[in-house]
Structure 1
Amino acid sequence: MAVSFSVRRTVEDDWPLVRGLRVENATDNPISYGATLETTLAMTEADWRLRARRGQAEDATSLAAVETDTGRWIGMMSAQSHDDDGSDPVLTGVFVSPDRRGRENGVADALLDGILRWALERGATRLRLYVDEHAEPARRFYARHGFVPTGRTRPVGFTAGNTLELVRTLDSAARDGRTR
């Protein structure tokens, strides 16, 4: 049976929950979080408060998927208005707890829908992301949602390997809420 959950923006007071899920993320897959577990554990309360506030920022957002029955945080996605590689919004910090992954649960789909709405509200016509070159399930997920490789790569940085840039055009289907 699929899990019941809601998606909401994070706020500063969520910092302990953001920290908990990001520690789980860095333990499960440091590349998808962008930091080692050691780096993640060394972050201060102020660092976590900043990350939690992104849900209310003008130039960024952070969404959490929260189980209805338990209140457990089971996934997060964030985005920022741009990065050093371009002026299009960038999807970042994608994570779903291993026991809640899969199309039958729909957690990643719901989070991505929220990020796409955020980007469209800002007048964006494209959304970019970077994904680990070896993350086949993630790459299939993004392909299912219309993301295509740009050919640009960048090194992971804290370990060997590269990430691949993918981009999706935000067309009328996305504007109408048909993101899959």
Structure 2
Amino acid sequence: MTISVRRLGPEDWREWRDVRLAALADAPEAFGSSLAREGAYDEAEWRAWLRPERGLKALAGGDGIIGAWVPEDRGGAVELYSMWVRPDARGRGIADALLAEALGWAEQEGRERVELWVIDGNDRARRLYERHGFRATGHTQPHPRDPEVLEHLMSRG
């Protein structure tokens, strides 16, 4: 089965919004933002988030999303974020396809190192990232919304 992953732009704001809000409702502990915060965004804010200069946003149908960008404080590394797949669509390779799209984007951007944060207890995500060559760096930080939960930095390249 081939999974179609599509890169999004500002005109796709409704699709990104709908899946992003579903992700925040399903797994609020996994994200640095909240459903209440992003549910209040207007069209202009969603469109701005999807501008090409703000990195990659990709969608696998209505079943999953991933984002990637190059933060100023990462020494040129790409950071992945917003990875999520609908619970009823998990186990079908959607996460692998989304991750492959983000890694392809990083390569197109000429970036060798790709990083991401994974929270304590999200073993399924950690295993996915390890399959794609990510390794734990030993760096941790408190989760932005719950300082009792640690995030672990993983890196590839």
In the alignment, which residue of structure 2 is the partner of 1:13?
11
In the alignment, which residue of structure 2 is the partner of 1:61?
56
In the alignment, which residue of structure 1 is the partner of 2:69?
80
In 2, the alpha carbon distance for the partners of 1:18 and 1:59 equals 14
Q: Given the superposition, is the C-alpha separation of residues 137 and 83 from structure 1 closer, same or farther in structure 2, using an over 3 Å criterion?
A: farther
**How big is the alpha-carbon RMSD for the aligned residues of Structure 1 and Structure 2?**
1.6
Q: Deviations over 1:106-131 (max 9, x none)?
A: 11111111111111112212110011
In 1, the alpha carbon distance for the partners of 2:63 and 2:60 equals 6
User: How is 1:39-118 mapped onto 2 (pairs within 5 angstroms)?
Assistant: 39-53=37-51, 57-58=52-53, 60-66=55-61, 73-102=62-91, 105-118=92-105
Letter in 2 for 1:140: R
In the alignment, which residue of structure 2 is the partner of 1:31?
29
Q: Unpaired segments of 5 or more residues in structure 1?
A: 67-72, 170-180
Letter in 1 for 2:14: P
- C-alpha deviation, 1:134, in angstroms: 1.6
In 2, the alpha carbon distance for the partners of 1:148 and 1:14 equals 33
Aligned partners of 2:120 and 2:151 also within 8 Å: yes
Q: Deviations over 1:1-33 (max 9, x none)?
A: x6x641111121211111111110001112333
1:125 aligns with 2:112: yes
In 1, the alpha carbon distance for the partners of 2:68 and 2:99 equals 10
Please state whether the residue corresponding to 1:43 is helix, strand or coil: coil
In 1, the alpha carbon distance for the partners of 2:57 and 2:17 equals 13
Q: Given the superposition, is the C-alpha separation of residues 166 and 83 from structure 1 closer, same or farther in structure 2, using an over 3 Å criterion?
A: farther
- After TM superposition, the score normalised by the length of structure 1 is 0.80
In 2, the alpha carbon distance for the partners of 1:85 and 1:162 equals 19
- C-alpha deviation, 1:36, in angstroms: 1.7
Q: Deviations over 1:67-102 (max 9, x none)?
A: xxxxxx111111002343442111111011111111
In the alignment, which residue of structure 1 is the partner of 2:151?
163
